Amino acid sequence: MTDDSIDSDRREDVSAMNELFRRIRVRLYDQRVLAVLAIVCLLCIGGWLSYTVYVAPSEQTEQRVTDSWTLSGTVTHGADIRESTPIYDGGEVATDNESTADTVATVTDEPVYYTDLSPAVHGDVAVGYDADRSDNVTVSLELERVTRAAGDDVVYWSDSEQLDHTNRTDVESGEEVVATFNLNVSHLEEQIDEIETNLGASPGDVETYINAIVTVEGEIGTDSVSMTRTFRIDLTHEGSMYSIDVDEPLEETGTETETVAAPRSYGPLHTIGGPTLVAVGVVGAGATALACRRSPTDAERAWLSYLADRDAAEDVIVRVDYPVEHADCDHPVATVPTLGELAQLAIDVEAAVLEDVNQDRYVVEYEGGIYVYEPPADSGRGQEQEESRLTSSCA
């Protein structure tokens, strides 16, 4: 690549950049009212966002945990084996068939119990609390057996009885309050059959569960606490088997809070977006002021309009070394006011727009006639091209 070609490329790049700046300046001038409104909005929004972060950040109130305590409970259960079997012998698995009918085994925390072998189930519910500070705390624990038939949020019948009730005062943190239960599953089945016989129907699904009702009163932490919570322990009966199920843990957490003021934290929208909007507004204000320091001349507008038409008609324009003698006065010549109209004529007659590089004009030949468009002078370069183009004329 030669030095001349490099210089030519550089000049073209500079020219293209200058044309871009001129187009932007004219566009800003024409839309200066909207530009000013947009700049004002950017500065106001960006200034407000920046002000709230860096000048006068606001405070927010939040709840801070100062103390906490936990109420928790456990369930243990077991059953007595009423009949000796080859499996159970004194609470252990038998290795032979020498078990006697008088042997009674006790099993605990089994996943299932067998109604024929263990018709009754017993167990303990123990509750307590854990806190850093407490005083004069009373814990009440009541166990209630509930049997009912329900379905589709409808309770058809219900039967309940109190199994145990324990009330203790001055319970310390870490101590347990225990209540016991004893249920004869075989007897419950008989009760259910009797109720359904009396009703003459078996509506809904029958379920049996134990409600563990815990009441805590006293000074825990720095607050006075009075609360009641109910936990459910299910007795699931399927055929000749039943089980004790605790679906949800017997646990409750209490907290003590205080309201404190803390500086509000802001995200990137405020910390970055605010200054960015201000910077964009300042740059836009400078660009608009520079664009509006003088109004675009008619020559500038004509030149930019020509460039826009030149870009739009690029596909139908062919650069040629048009012979001067071919364009003399022997041919009728018609002048077209804009390059866009000349390009549309070329499309209509299926001809090309010839860019005459010798005389700096555009030509369309059709049926012996010549249609000519002469671009305006480049307002950025003065009138040199215009004067050069006017030196050629028909003799």
Write out the H or E segment, with its range, that includes residue 183. Answer: strand 176-184
- Using alpha carbons, list the distances in angstroms from residue 289 to 25, 33, 66, 315, 377: 10, 12, 59, 37, 27
Q: Give pLDDT, residue 395.
A: 34
pTM equals: 0.51
The residues spanned by each domain of the chain are 1-58+265-296, 66-261, 301-395
Report the distance separating Cα 337 and Cα 373, nearest Å: 6
- Using alpha carbons, list the distances in angstroms from residue 102 to 91, 106, 120, 238, 286: 13, 13, 18, 28, 105
Q: Write out the E strands in 11-153.
A: 59-81, 88-89, 92-93, 105-108, 113-114, 120-131, 134-151
What percentage of the chain has pLDDT greater than the value 90? Answer: 28
pLDDT in tens, 167-216: 999 999 999 999 999 999 999 999 999 999 999 998 989 999 999 999 99
Give the pLDDT band (50/70/90) at residue 234.
very high
pLDDT at residue 21 is higher than 80: no
Q: Give pLDDT, residue 300.
A: 79
- Using alpha carbons, list the distances in angstroms from residue 248 to 123, 162, 163, 222, 227: 17, 22, 21, 29, 19
Q: Give pLDDT, residue 287.
A: 80
Query: Tokens 């028909």 map to which residue?
Result: 394
